Structure 1
Amino acid sequence: MRIGLSSVYAWRPHVEHLVYLNELLVEDGHETCFLVCDAQSPSCYTRELRGSSRAKECPACVLGGLRSFVSGPFDSLREDGSDLFGDQFKAMSHSSVCTLVRTEAESDERRSDFSQAHRRLIPAVRRAYASARAWIQKRRLEGILLFNGRMDVTRGILEAAKDAGIPVVTVERTWFSDGLLLTPNDGPLALTPHHQLNERYREHPLTRGQALLVARRIASRFLQTNTTEWRSYNLNARRISWPANQEGLKVLILPSSRNEVEGHPDWQTEWSTSGEAIDAVLRHLRVDKSAVVLRCHPNWAERIGQRTGELSETYYLDWAERNNVHAIRSADNSSSLSLMDEADLVIVNGGSAVFEAGALGKPCVTVSPAAYSEAGNCAAVYSNGMLERCEAVLSLSKKEIVKRTLRAGYTHNYRHSQFTQYVRAKSPTRFVYYEGGSAKRIIDLLKSGRLQPDDATVAVDTADEDEVCEMIIARDWGRIASLAPDEEPALPLKRIRRRAALRWLDRVRDLMPSGDT
């Protein structure tokens, strides 16, 4: 096949991930080429995020991008798309602008900084779309591998491929680091592949090795040794007692930001806001709000580029004040884990706290679709007609919740994530690669448009899974870590390296903080 690969940003480790996939394709006899920006875009997410100039950002991006790994052939974003019109380019840049401004409510999209960022990004998306259409035609492409596909320029390339009738697979880092997130014909927010695999495997028990792999991931969060996740929160936290009324059902609300998923159809609910959804759940369960605690996400106190999450925090603090709910600010170092430990019910809106809460045997409700919402580990409640699921999850035993959490975690980490045996994280930005991966998985995904499980094996009974569940219920995190199997595959290393003259880039970047700052 003639396959194009594109990463217009030089972010680590995403360029390296595409280079790994390119090597698999070339080894299998496929013809590849590349689309890069080459400082042609009039604006982009990175420059908007940092408020920096073309002169500062573009040379570093060109230097650290695909050209520093492979020899081409290359094409760049040279078509300005000035003959193209329509609201679709505004829609394509919408997700980036929401993330840049860190919106929470629909009213935030009426801010002047929102509209200004939108106006600056629309020409960039139009140029990316036009250039991608020209690239597809020039190189007679039969498939595309694309970094991200959600943000501005990358979204323009994704939509160009779809409009040209070319199958495309977007590539991202996984939520919990190992393997690659490969999504057919959509960006990384797509939930359909998650739902399909969760529905297929949620009733199947895990082997001992599978259960231990997930248990170690969860234990690392309790032990604060989860050093490969993109961001770690609530470090050096202080344990606290339940700060609200301890009579009745103690409900902990752990909201996360909605700006990154805003506008994607897979994440839509009947609720107009998360606050409305939480109100509906509390009202349905007749919860005394004096026993409710809202813990603002620690991320909202962190600066990403030029912005903190003040819009999200303000929204939820206002909600808490209106409802006389005890609120803990994002910058507070109170332990979220200690709050989960004391809660009778945890409410989230798609965040990953369900894995820690589930490991503690706590029933959870998500008021938003999520990667795990069809896994059976929590109550998925995103309409009034789904509220009866709250009672169902409250009736589950602690062991059943733990078991379902393990299965959800394994499907997410080792079935949905691809190439997990061959792509391993050593830090948020450093990865090692192993021989043994096959291009067939990429080609099959391009041709079928349907994700297959990276690991399809299941256990014949629940005996081994039950043993691991008991260790989790005992909260023996140290023992779990010591018993977890060595994850390093017995395979030779595959060298994925920059050109020799540019390897100093990674040594410099290792001194910089991880995350999208």
Structure 2
Amino acid sequence: MKVGYAMLYPYRGSIQNMIFISKMFEREGHSSFFLKCNASVPHCYNRLIKNRGRIAECSKCLLGSVDTFDVSNVTNMRSSLRSDLSSQQAYEIIASSSFSLNRIETDEDCVSEEVTEVQKKLVPLAEITYANALKWIDDNGLELVFIFNGRLDMPRAVLKACEFKGVPYITFEAAYPGIALEINDDCRSLKSLHKIIGDYIDYPLSMFQSNYAAQVAAKMLKKKNFVWRLYNTTPEATTWPKKSDRKILIVPSSNHEFKGVAAWTPEWKHPLDGIEAVLSKLGASPSDCVIRCHPNWSENIGAIRDGSKSERVYVEWANRNGAFIIPSSSKCNTNDLIVEADYVIVQYGTAGIEGGLLGKKVIGLSPSWYSSSGFTAQVHGVHDLDNLNFFNGFDSVDVVRRSLRFLYAFHKRYPQYTNFVRSVSIYENAYFDGADVSRILRAVENNVFDADDCEIASEPIHEDAVVAAFVNGEYERFLNWKEEAGEAPEIHINRKRGYRWIDDMRTFFKAGDK
């Protein structure tokens, strides 16, 4: 099989994951072909988010590019090659980048002058990348393509070229551990994840699985987990800030990454519509509510503005309706608020998982990673309001149990090759021998990935003990649990001599888009 690899934003740790996959395919007789940007586009997400020119940013991509590894068959994109795209085709390629670069929140933000200006800048990128991807696919007779991310502009142009050519593609993202893979969809897909959750959410975890999930959960609650960007890592203890008959905590999320994605789109035109409908159904008032603005909104990401668009929406609603607002800049501990709350209303953020781990009544207003896991009441539109009956005879122990099962599915069943790609840091993985491509080829055939770990326990005895510890607030003891090292020999995914310093340099940069 002729397999293509498009890692068009290479100055990130995921490039080692791509090389690992390519070497795995090559060992089994498949041919590899790589696509490289080669500073061919006038503007891109990477440059715009940092507001830097070609010399500063394109030089990083060139230094970190695929041909600094021991690979062959590298195609450099050419700026002279362009496709005449319709306005709709170009929009589908560049919309998500333009939304993220402006950190939009509402439908009105999506058509603002700022957003349309960014889209104009990115149209040449769409035309160049799409044309080069089509030629790359044709010239090499590609039968399968791996794409980093698939959401942002250049990777999305390759995705659209694969769709036009009818070539199956797999998008990949970093996972801790393993590699998050999805077939024929971008990195925001819920297809494989929700199938895997559905297959395993009703089965107990083994001793190892329970302890693994417990450690992930404890690290989440203590802000020590591996994620690309952590916020409010040194929170201050806090108590409920107002007197009210009920304590309803609202923890909104940013919309820019998921705007327009069908799998993540609820019926609500805006989350505030859902909040108001839920409050009415509960017989509650906005004056019962505390809104904890996301710490993300107070931070600049790269050179772009902070999340004031998102915060503004909730501040204005709180001021109109008598809700208490906690600004994004506050150091207050959101988990302290969750513990005191009667209800926690979220869209799709991690506060919903943390609420589940703490045995709370969580209401989700949008599809999410965990919306099919059974520990929240999902109310995606007015027709779902009866789902609040989930809280009749509420079982907080079962909520904790299902939250832990979700975490295990998310971290060890959904990502692939978790025993062969293990996290050292957010920048670096350790790789181990013994993986094969059979699971990927099955996914190509079935259009969905199977679970990486299919084990289930025959009895919940070990899971019961872990659940009880969380119910009793004794989760910190799992922070020091150690997973036993595997027996497979380690393999090294290194750049060519003379380029290995590049990966060492990455650790000096702040996590995220800096």
Q: Which TM-score band applies after superposition, normalised by the shorter structure?
A: over 0.9
CA contact (8 A) 1:167 1:447 kept: no
Aligned match for 2:429, one of 431, 438, 447: 431
- 1:58 is the counterpart of 2:58: yes
1:492-507 superposed matches below 5 A: 492-507=489-504
Following superposition, the deviation at residue 289 of structure 1 comes to 2.4
Query: Secondary structure of the residue that 1:282 maps to in structure 2?
Result: helix
Q: Which residue of 1 aligns with 2:265?
A: 268
Query: Secondary structure of the residue that 1:158 maps to in structure 2?
Result: helix
Q: Which residue of 2 aligns with 1:71?
A: 71
- 1:122 is the counterpart of 2:123: yes
Q: Which residue of 2 aligns with 1:469?
A: 467
- Distance in 1 (CA, whole Å) between partners of 2:389 and 2:290 is 20
1:5-20 superposed matches below 5 A: 5-20=5-20
1:2-151 superposed matches below 5 A: 2-78=2-78, 80-151=81-152
CA contact (8 A) 2:179 2:417 kept: yes
- Distance in 2 (CA, whole Å) between partners of 1:85 and 1:327 is 44
- 1:446 is the counterpart of 2:427: no
Q: Deviations over 1:302-361 (max 9, x none)?
A: 110222111111111112112211010000011101001101111110111122111111
Aligned match for 1:380, one of 369, 372, 378: 378
Aligned match for 1:239, one of 234, 237, 240: 237
CA contact (8 A) 1:234 1:336 kept: no
Q: Which residue of 1 aligns with 2:180?
A: 181
Q: Which residue of 2 aligns with 1:205?
A: 204
Structure 2 counterpart of 1:61, one-letter code: C
Aligned length: 512
1:148-227 superposed matches below 5 A: 148-174=149-175, 177-226=176-225
Q: Which residue of 1 aligns with 2:330?
A: 332
Query: Secondary structure of the residue that 1:133 maps to in structure 2?
Result: helix
Q: Which residue of 1 aligns with 2:283?
A: 286
CA contact (8 A) 1:244 1:290 kept: no
Q: Deviations over 1:464-503 (max 9, x none)?
A: 2111100111222332234x35253222111011112011
- Distance in 1 (CA, whole Å) between partners of 2:350 and 2:275 is 17
Q: Which residue of 1 aligns with 2:313?
A: 315
CA contact (8 A) 1:229 1:427 kept: no
- Distance in 2 (CA, whole Å) between partners of 1:94 and 1:56 is 25
- Distance in 2 (CA, whole Å) between partners of 1:416 and 1:393 is 28
Following superposition, the deviation at residue 82 of structure 1 comes to 4.2
Go from structure 1 to structure 2 and tell me whether the alpha carbon gap of 1:258 and 1:488 turns closer, same or farther (over 3 Å shift). farther
Following superposition, the deviation at residue 65 of structure 1 comes to 1.5
Query: Secondary structure of the residue that 2:216 maps to in structure 1?
Result: helix
Q: Deviations over 1:271-329 (max 9, x none)?
A: 10011111111111111322211000001111102221111111111121122110100
- Distance in 2 (CA, whole Å) between partners of 1:424 and 1:415 is 14
Following superposition, the deviation at residue 168 of structure 1 comes to 0.2
Structure 1 counterpart of 2:89, one-letter code: Q
Q: Deviations over 1:198-223 (max 9, x none)?
A: 22212111112111111100101233
Consecutive unaligned residues of structure 1, counting only runs of 5 or more, are: none
Structure 2 counterpart of 1:42, one-letter code: P
CA contact (8 A) 2:347 2:366 kept: yes
- Distance in 1 (CA, whole Å) between partners of 2:414 and 2:8 is 25
Query: Secondary structure of the residue that 1:356 maps to in structure 2?
Result: helix
Aligned match for 1:491, one of 488, 491, 496: 488
Following superposition, the deviation at residue 86 of structure 1 comes to 4.0
CA contact (8 A) 1:171 1:182 kept: yes
Q: Which residue of 2 aligns with 1:347?
A: 345
Q: Which residue of 2 aligns with 1:300?
A: 297
Query: Secondary structure of the residue that 1:313 maps to in structure 2?
Result: helix
Q: Which residue of 1 aligns with 2:256?
A: 259
- Distance in 2 (CA, whole Å) between partners of 1:217 and 1:412 is 10
Following superposition, the deviation at residue 427 of structure 1 comes to 1.5
Query: Secondary structure of the residue that 2:498 maps to in structure 1?
Result: helix
CA contact (8 A) 1:99 1:259 kept: yes
- Distance in 1 (CA, whole Å) between partners of 2:86 and 2:227 is 40
CA contact (8 A) 1:358 1:401 kept: yes
- Distance in 2 (CA, whole Å) between partners of 1:109 and 1:449 is 32
Structure 1 counterpart of 2:60, one-letter code: A
Structure 1 counterpart of 2:16, one-letter code: E
Structure 1 counterpart of 2:15, one-letter code: V
Q: Deviations over 1:98-139 (max 9, x none)?
A: 001000011112322211100011210121111111111100
- Distance in 2 (CA, whole Å) between partners of 1:85 and 1:298 is 39
Structure 1 counterpart of 2:156, one-letter code: R
- Distance in 2 (CA, whole Å) between partners of 1:487 and 1:300 is 39
Question: TM-score of the superposition, structure 2-length normalised?
Answer: 0.97
Following superposition, the deviation at residue 246 of structure 1 comes to 4.0
- Distance in 1 (CA, whole Å) between partners of 2:50 and 2:308 is 17
Structure 2 counterpart of 1:198, one-letter code: I
Query: Secondary structure of the residue that 2:373 maps to in structure 1?
Result: coil
Following superposition, the deviation at residue 83 of structure 1 comes to 3.4
Query: Secondary structure of the residue that 2:3 maps to in structure 1?
Result: strand
- Distance in 2 (CA, whole Å) between partners of 1:202 and 1:290 is 36
